[in-house]
Chains A and B, each alone.
Chain A
Amino acid sequence: MPQYKVQLLNILVKKKKVHTHTHTHTHTHTGECVSECGGWIHQQYFSVQVVWLGLNVFLFVHAFLTFEKSDKYYYTRELIGQLDHNLTFHKLVAYMICLHTVIHIVAHLFNFERYRRSCKADDDSLAFTLSTLYPHEKGSPWLNPFPSSDMTAEHLTFTSIAGLTGVIITLALILMVTSATEFIRWCYFEVFWYAHHLFVIYFIGLVIHGIGGIVRGQTEDSMKEHPHSKCAEEYKDWGEHCRRPRFEGLPADSWKWVLAPVILYIFERLIRFYRSRQKVVITKAILHPSRVLELQMNKSDFRMEVGQYIFVNCPSVSFWEWHPFTLTSAPEEPFFSIHIRAAGDWTESLIRACEQQNSPMPRLEVDGPFGTASEDVFQYEVAMLVGAGIGVTPFASILKSIWYKFRHADHTLKTKTIYFYWICRETGAFAWFNDLLASLEREMEECGKVGFLNYRLFLTGWDSNIAGHAALHFDKSTDVVTGLKQKTSFGRPKWDNEFSALAAAHPRSVVGVFLCGPQTLAKSLRRCCNHYSSLDPRKVRFYFNKENF
């Protein structure tokens, strides 16, 4: 939750700052030297800001609590989804920050150019007069930041606090964005992790950015003796009837906007630190085929829901890095587990450290759990679960939990039948999931509930060898690839066939479709849901849920 406040307030900072600057500059660059923020409003400005900030925080917290918890919004949540999609929100805010940064920079580029042109204007123009009122000394009440027409915009940028901090924090922002693209995040997580910590530089620079007081307005005293409505036209005679106008810089006020989110963020890091101090006991470590390590752990006061994830840190491998992993255990189990696949430096080192026979298990720190709880899965009479590639991981937790609830006749479980579709290139790295399905299959046979879980595996990375092999062993009762009772199919599923078969098998049910996989798959499934849902509410309806697991 604190992350929201950080992010919402960031948007407000950016929007408000753009507004202020364009407003003031519009007037200064055309030569009118009066600050719009004069008089009464200027005095009240601080209290207005505090009230505005407080109002935002209140509205946000109120809306959040009402929306998330109140029964009145149960169906609204069903349709729009829960608010805890903090990653999506974070990205949205990041895009806004980038957009407003562009607007801010372009506006200032034009401003600087116009300031500079004012220095070079005709000797008898207002612009020139304004620009040459006072020499640029400390405390001097100048208006035009360019001391003379010789100075270039670049020189001023790099010799002023605002310009220098501006360039530095924009570079930090750009590096954060380029290292945060999906591709880099998935393949080279460490680059993303370390580069994203440049936000510290960003926020420090943002607070310092306005200290120099480049944006200027007329002082109170000067406005009394030099009202612009009377004196502006007589600029050639300033000093006789009208005293020369004096200017001062606007104070830096970014800190007022970012202070609350920064404090909230510091709290969050403190909480993470506190949580990480709590002892994590590794009760079991299992090395599965294809270098997949399963760690079963215990921590006091750890409560999880299905589909959530945790951050894990191993100080002996890397002091600073925290890596996210989806939880693969069910909440009903007496431990929580993650499956770590060797896919980079950190994971390889961790697996190697855990493999050591003679030395004890490395100490781990765990923060979490985070993420959307996928409780909706239990609400549908018929559930259609689709896991593509690595997206199958949260379903380990979901399937186990459903099975537990079913065996213990948990009344919160409304599900009567599950259809699970597993789509992956090859099962190698997911052999552990295979074993899970096999053990579920066995348990269901023992309980006599064979029809409860129906699953199909689709291998999309097949070639003629595999297909030939499968064709040869067609008559065997267990599948040649997985050893499971239900046969593996090759290629991608034909969703139209699947949906029509499901609609025929359950003509009067509400079917919940859950996907953890790529966007293209989401589109096809959504389309099929709409197509095969009957208009008659008594007949079959498909509801699509895409979770950002």
Chain B
Amino acid sequence: MGQIEWAMWANEQALASGLILLTGGIVATAGQFVWWQFGAYSIVAGVFICLLEYPRGKRKKGSTMERWGQKYLTTVVKAFGPLTRNYYVRAILHLCLAVPAGVLLATILGTACLAIASGIYLLAAIRGEEWMPIEQKPKERLQVGATIKQPPSNPPPRPPAEVRKKQPEEEAAGPSGGPQVNPVPVTDEVV
């Protein structure tokens, strides 16, 4: 499986874990189970993980399908630079976030899933993968004016083709033949 980017699967797994933590946390808090405060923590951790993992990173090869509306979160996640780019950081972060939720039965499933995601991220980091944001491609605008520097060298009216072919043999002199010689130097005034 040499070409697999493990980070892509880790991302799906982590996003799912975030949702599971969130659900477990809501159940524990709403049901006022014993130690429900850990449930409240799970809700916060779950939301945070979902926001962090929602923007999908760019694949190394091929095009990446963006999640709907992810460009807003991409800007935020990108702003943290190496903290979000590096997968070692993510692996450790997810492991640390997972541990407190392991106390409650309601959220222990979230812990297990997040630990698995952390493991896959570690694998991705060892293989040198990185999170790269999916940028919007800037629209290509043809700067037509910028490519014109000099006026045309052989403007009309031109003599017929046969006469034109003979020109290189003769001297490039005279008003009807050869490249245009400008009496006054011409500069490009296109803005």
Which residues in A have some Cβ–Cβ distance to B below 8 Å?
102, 105-106, 109-110, 112-113, 116, 152-154, 157, 167, 170-171, 174-175, 177-179, 181-184, 187-188, 190-191, 344-345, 348, 463-464
B12-20, B169-177, B178-186: which lies at the A interface?
B12-20
B69-77, B79-87, B91-99, B103-111: which lies at the A interface?
B103-111
Give the tally of cross-chain contacts (CB within 8 A): 83
Within 8 A of A (CB), among B115-155: 116, 140, 142
Task: State in angstroms the CA–CA spacing of A102 and B34 once bound together.
Answer: 21
Q: In the bound complex, do residue B13 and residue A175 qualify as a contact, i.e. CB atoms below 8 Å apart?
A: yes
Which residues in B have some Cβ–Cβ distance to A below 8 Å?
1-5, 8-9, 12-13, 15-16, 20, 23-24, 27-28, 31, 33-34, 56, 59, 62, 65, 103-106, 108-109, 112-113, 116, 140, 142
Contact of A154 among B9, B105, B140 (CB under 8 A): B105
Q: In the bound complex, do residue B5 and residue A188 qualify as a contact, i.e. CB atoms below 8 Å apart?
A: yes
A187 touching B59 in the complex, CB below 8 Å, given contacts A105-B109, A106-B27, A171-B116: yes
A464 touching B116 in the complex, CB below 8 Å, given contacts A154-B104, A178-B12, A178-B13: no
Q: Beyond the given A106-B27, A171-B109, A464-B142, could you list 8 further A-B residue pairs with CB under 8 A, ordered by the A residue number?
A: A154-B108, A171-B113, A174-B16, A178-B9, A178-B15, A179-B9, A181-B12, A188-B3
In the bound complex, residues from chain B placing their C-beta under 8 Å from that of A175 are 13, 116
Q: In the bound complex, do residue B2 and residue A345 qualify as a contact, i.e. CB atoms below 8 Å apart?
A: yes
A179 touching B1 in the complex, CB below 8 Å, given contacts A109-B106, A153-B105: no
Q: In the bound complex, do residue A177 and residue B16 qualify as a contact, i.e. CB atoms below 8 Å apart?
A: yes
The chain B residue with its CB closest to the CB of A116 is B34
Q: In the bound complex, do residue B109 and residue A167 qualify as a contact, i.e. CB atoms below 8 Å apart?
A: yes
Which has the most chain B C-beta neighbours within 10 Å: A174, A187, A464?
A: A187
Looking at the assembled complex, report how far the CB atom of B121 sits from the nearest CB atom of chain A, in whole angstroms.
Answer: 13
Task: State in angstroms the CA–CA spacing of A391 and B118 once bound together.
Answer: 36
Contact of A170 among B59, B109, B140 (CB under 8 A): B109
Task: State in angstroms the CA–CA spacing of A348 and B15 once bound together.
Answer: 31
Task: State in angstroms the CA–CA spacing of A348 and B103 once bound together.
Answer: 47
Which has the most chain B C-beta neighbours within 10 Å: A113, A116, A154?
A: A113
Task: State in angstroms the CA–CA spacing of A157 and B105 once bound together.
Answer: 8
Q: In the bound complex, do residue B27 and residue A109 qualify as a contact, i.e. CB atoms below 8 Å apart?
A: yes
Task: State in angstroms the CA–CA spacing of A110 and B23 once bound together.
Answer: 13
Q: In the bound complex, do residue B1 and residue A464 qualify as a contact, i.e. CB atoms below 8 Å apart?
A: no
Looking at the assembled complex, report how far the CB atom of B20 sits from the nearest CB atom of chain A, in whole angstroms.
Answer: 7
Task: State in angstroms the CA–CA spacing of A79 and B67 once bound together.
Answer: 33
Task: State in angstroms the CA–CA spacing of A187 and B57 once bound together.
Answer: 14
In the bound complex, residues from chain A placing their C-beta under 8 Å from that of B16 are 174, 177-178
Task: State in angstroms the CA–CA spacing of A186 and B121 once bound together.
Answer: 20
Q: In the bound complex, do residue B27 and residue A184 qualify as a contact, i.e. CB atoms below 8 Å apart?
A: no
Task: State in angstroms the CA–CA spacing of A109 and B34 once bound together.
Answer: 12
Q: In the bound complex, do residue A191 and residue B31 qualify as a contact, i.e. CB atoms below 8 Å apart?
A: no
Task: State in angstroms the CA–CA spacing of A504 and B23 once bound together.
Answer: 56
The chain B residue with its CB closest to the CB of A155 is B105
